[in-house]
Structure 1
Amino acid sequence: MKVLKKHNRNPLTQSGFSVIELMISISLGLLVLLAVLEIFSASMQGVHLQNNFSRVQENGRLATELIVRDIRGADYWGCIDDISEISNHLDTSPSSGYNPSILPTAGHAINGQNDVTSQTISSVNVIDNTDILTLRGATSISGVKINAPMSATDETIQVSISNSIPQGHVILISDCREADLFSNTEQTTSTNAQIGHAVGTLSTGIDNVSSNLSHTYGEDAQILSPYTKVYFIGENNSSSNSLYRADNGVANELVRGVNNLQLMYGEDTSGDGSINIFTATPTDIDQVLSIRVSITAESGDNAQGTSLERTYNTTANIRNRTLQ
C-alpha cells in the first residue's frame, strides 16, 4: 500500500507580490481608469455639444418661422388693398379705452424701430440695440359668413355662424369697395345669427359713435378680426433673453434663448413694383415689399461651458403687397 507523504509548508519559503510590483500594478490600474474617465468625459462633452447644437438650431428656426409667417400675412384687410380705406366707427375718446396703436387706425400696416434703447412693451424690458417689428392686418373669423345682403347702412348684419362672437369684439367688415371698423353690439350672435353695430354703452369693449356703415354690404363681404402683432427681444423671468410677441397689447414669451433681432426692409423706391434697396430705415414704410430678418439664438447651457450661438437670416415677402 502506497503511503502519501504530507509536505510541510514553511511560511518563510512562500513568495507573493513585492511592494514594488504592487505599486506598479496600482499605477497601471490608475492609468487605465484615467483613460476610461477621459473617454467618458469626452463622450459626455460630445453629448452636451450635440444637445446644445440641436437647441440653438431649434430656437433659431422656430423664432424665424414665427416672424416670417406673420410678415407674409401682414397688411391683409379683405378685398381692399389700402388701410386708409377703412372707416372707423369706434369711440376714440381717451375714456373709452381706445388704443390706436393696436388697431388699424394707427396708420401703417407695418412699422419698424431700429436699435431701440430703454423701451418697455407690456411690462417687458426690451433689450437695447435690438429692433422692434409691428405688423397689422385682419384674419377671418372661423365659421362666419354673411347670408343676406344689408338693405340699409344701420341694419344688423345677418350671418351664418357656428361660434358666438363676444359682445364688444372689434370687427372689420370688408368688400372690394371699402371696409368698416366697429364693435359688435349683439350679445348672442350664435343664437340671433346677426352682428350689430349700434350706438350705445357696452359693458365691455369700445362703444360705436355711429351705427351707419360706409355702405351696405352683400354676401360677398368678409367678416374679419383685426390684429396688431409686435415682435421684440425682451428680458424673461430668468434674466435671460427671449423672443416676445405682443398680441393686441398683451406680451407673450415665444422662444427662449434668442438674443437679437435685426431687420432690413426691401423698399420699392422707384414705384415700379420691385425692390430697389434694403435698408434699416426705409423712407416710405408703405412701399416696403419684403423684410429681411436676422435672428441670433443661443443654447443657453452656460453651466457646461459649451454655450453655442448662431445667427439665422431669411427674407420674407409681404404677400398682400407683392401679389397685387
Structure 2
Amino acid sequence: MKANRIYKNSGFTIVEMMISLVLGALLLGGIISLFTNNQQTYRIIQGTANLQDNARFAIDVISEDIRMSGYYGCLSNSAAPVYNPSLLNTGSNIDFLFQNLSLGLEAFEATNVTTWQPALPALLTVDLPALNRPPPQGGTDVVAIKRVISNGVTLNSLNDPTKTMQVEGTGSFAQNDAAIISDCEKATLFQVTAANDSGTNQNIEYKTTGATPGNINAPISTGASYVASSSSVYQFASAVYYIAPAWDTTNNQAVTNNRGDQVLSLWRIQGINTAGQPVPEELLRGVENLQVVYGVDSNPAPPNEGDNTIDQYLNANQVDAIANGFERVITARIDLTVNSIDSIGTQNDGVLRRTFSHTVKLRNRGS
C-alpha cells in the first residue's frame, strides 16, 4: 500500500512580491526615461534641421533681391544714367515703392524698439495696419529693393502722343504691371494699362486710365525719345523685407506658439495689387530678427566718385548720413535669427534659435 504524499502549495511571499514590484518599477522608469530622452533628442535634432532649412530659404530669397538691387539692364553699365521722372500717378504712400530708382537699395536701421533711422515710410506704418496686417517689429531692420526682374524685350515702335508702344515677343507684360523702358542712357518707369498680343509682338498702352493707379499725362522722356531697336522694356519689381508678427488672416489676429508666446515671421511687400494697395505676404514663420550692415565705399576720389572698394561696414542710419550713401553700398551682410516657433527645450522659453550670417555683393557695384 502506497503512502499518500501531501504536497504544500508554494507561492510568493509578501517580501518577494514587494521586491518584484520595486524592480519592475525601476525597470519601467528606466524605459520611460530612455524613451522621453530619445523623444526630446529627436525633437531637438528635428528642430535644428528645420532651423537650417528655414534660414537657408530666407537668406536665399533676400540675397537674390539684394544682389540684383539697382539692376536696370544695360542702363546699369552707364557712367551717367538718367532716371526720368516716373509716370506712375501714385500720389500716395505707395510712392515709396516706385521712387529713388537710382538707389536700388534703401534700408532702415532699428535704433531702438520704437524708432528707425531713417524714419520708416508711411507705407509700413500706416498702410499695413489699414490692411489689417502688422507693421514691422521694433528692434528689427527693414530693407527695400528696386530692380528689373526680366531680361527685357526689344522696342519695335513707340507712339508717345497715343501712349502706345510695341515690343518683340508675346506675353511679356500684363495690365497693371510696372515696367521700365531704357535705351542704356536713360530710363522711365510706367504702368501698363493694357497689353495684347499681335502675332509675334505685343502691343502695350501706358495711358492715364485702364489700371490703378495709372500714369500721369506726361511725355515718356524728358529728353530725346526712345528709339526702336535701340531700346528695351523690362518688368519692374520692388520688394520690402521686414520682421512682423505671424498673422492669422482668417481671424485677423497674431499667431502664438504652444506656450502662448508671440510668433514672428519674415514678411515681404511685393509691389501693388490691382486696387493700388501694397501686397504684404508672410514668407516664413519663426524668423524673429533681421539685422543688416553694409559695406560702403566712403572714400571718394575727385570729383565725386569713390574708388569702388569697401572702406567700412556701417548700419543703415550711418550709411544714410553719408552723401549719396546708399549709392555707395557694395556689399550687405545679413544676420538672420531663426527659431523653432514652438517650445521644445527646457531652458528659458524652450524655443530653439540660431543666428545665421551671409554676405552678398551687389552685382552692379564695386570692382
Contact 2:193–2:214 (CA under 8 A) maintained in structure 1 = no
1:273 offset after TM fit, Å?
A: 0.7
In the superposition, relative to structure 1, how do residues 151 and 75 fare at CA in structure 2: closer, same or farther (>3 Å)?
A: closer
Show the 5 A alignment for 1:6-45.
7=4, 9=6, 13-45=8-40
In the superposition, relative to structure 1, how do residues 102 and 236 fare at CA in structure 2: closer, same or farther (>3 Å)?
A: same
Q: Which residue of 2 aligns with 1:288?
A: 329
1:99 partner SS = helix
Q: Which residue of 1 aligns with 2:85?
A: 88
2:281 is the counterpart of 1:252: yes
* Letter of the structure 1 residue corresponding to residue 266 of structure 2: L
Number of equivalenced pairs:
313
In the superposition, relative to structure 1, how do residues 265 and 167 fare at CA in structure 2: closer, same or farther (>3 Å)?
A: same
Contact 1:88–1:105 (CA under 8 A) maintained in structure 2 = no
* Letter of the structure 1 residue corresponding to residue 362 of structure 2: I
- The two structures have a TM-score, normalised by structure 1, of 0.85
* Letter of the structure 2 residue corresponding to residue 275 of structure 1: I
In the superposition, relative to structure 1, how do residues 240 and 151 fare at CA in structure 2: closer, same or farther (>3 Å)?
A: closer
Q: Which has the larger radius of gyration?
A: 1
1:230 offset after TM fit, Å?
A: 0.7
In the superposition, relative to structure 1, how do residues 32 and 184 fare at CA in structure 2: closer, same or farther (>3 Å)?
A: closer
Contact 2:169–2:200 (CA under 8 A) maintained in structure 1 = no
Contact 2:82–2:187 (CA under 8 A) maintained in structure 1 = yes
d(CA) in 1 for partners of 2:90, 2:241: 27
Larger displacement relative to structure 2 (69-78 or 52-61) = 52-61
Q: Deviations over 1:123-168 (max 9, x none)?
A: 3231111111111111217xx63363x4765574332333263334
d(CA) in 2 for partners of 1:93, 1:62: 33
In the superposition, relative to structure 1, how do residues 30 and 185 fare at CA in structure 2: closer, same or farther (>3 Å)?
A: closer
The structure whose RCO (Cα within 8 Å, separation 6+) is larger is: 1
1:229 offset after TM fit, Å?
A: 0.7
- The two structures have a TM-score, normalised by structure 2, of 0.76
Contact 2:180–2:235 (CA under 8 A) maintained in structure 1 = yes
Show the 5 A alignment for 1:158-237.
158-163=166-171, 165-189=173-197, 193-197=201-205, 199-202=207-210, 204-213=212-221, 214-237=224-247
d(CA) in 2 for partners of 1:198, 1:65: 34
In the superposition, relative to structure 1, how do residues 99 and 27 fare at CA in structure 2: closer, same or farther (>3 Å)?
A: closer
Identical amino acids, percent of aligned pairs:
26
Contact 1:89–1:210 (CA under 8 A) maintained in structure 2 = no
* Letter of the structure 1 residue corresponding to residue 166 of structure 2: Q
Aligned residue among 62, 70, 73 for 2:68: 73
Q: Deviations over 1:36-92 (max 9, x none)?
A: 111111111111111111122222222112111111011011211379612235254
Contact 1:172–1:226 (CA under 8 A) maintained in structure 2 = yes
1:212 offset after TM fit, Å?
A: 4.7
In the superposition, relative to structure 1, how do residues 15 and 71 fare at CA in structure 2: closer, same or farther (>3 Å)?
A: same
What are structure 1's unaligned runs of at least 5 residues? none
Q: Alpha carbon RMSD of aligned pairs, Å?
A: 2.8
1:321 offset after TM fit, Å?
A: 1.5
d(CA) in 1 for partners of 2:149, 2:29: 63
Show the 5 A alignment for 1:238-317.
238=255, 239-248=262-271, 249-270=278-299, 271-280=306-315, 281-282=318-319, 283=322, 284-302=325-343, 305=346, 306-317=350-361
* Letter of the structure 2 residue corresponding to residue 258 of structure 1: V
1:320 partner SS = coil
Contact 2:181–2:233 (CA under 8 A) maintained in structure 1 = yes
2:179 partner SS = strand
d(CA) in 2 for partners of 1:28, 1:212: 89
Contact 2:192–2:211 (CA under 8 A) maintained in structure 1 = no
d(CA) in 2 for partners of 1:220, 1:107: 21
Contact 1:164–1:190 (CA under 8 A) maintained in structure 2 = no
d(CA) in 1 for partners of 2:364, 2:102: 17
What are structure 2's unaligned runs of at least 5 residues? 116-123, 248-254, 256-261, 272-277, 300-305
1:201 offset after TM fit, Å?
A: 3.0
1:124 partner SS = coil
d(CA) in 2 for partners of 1:102, 1:110: 11
d(CA) in 2 for partners of 1:73, 1:198: 26
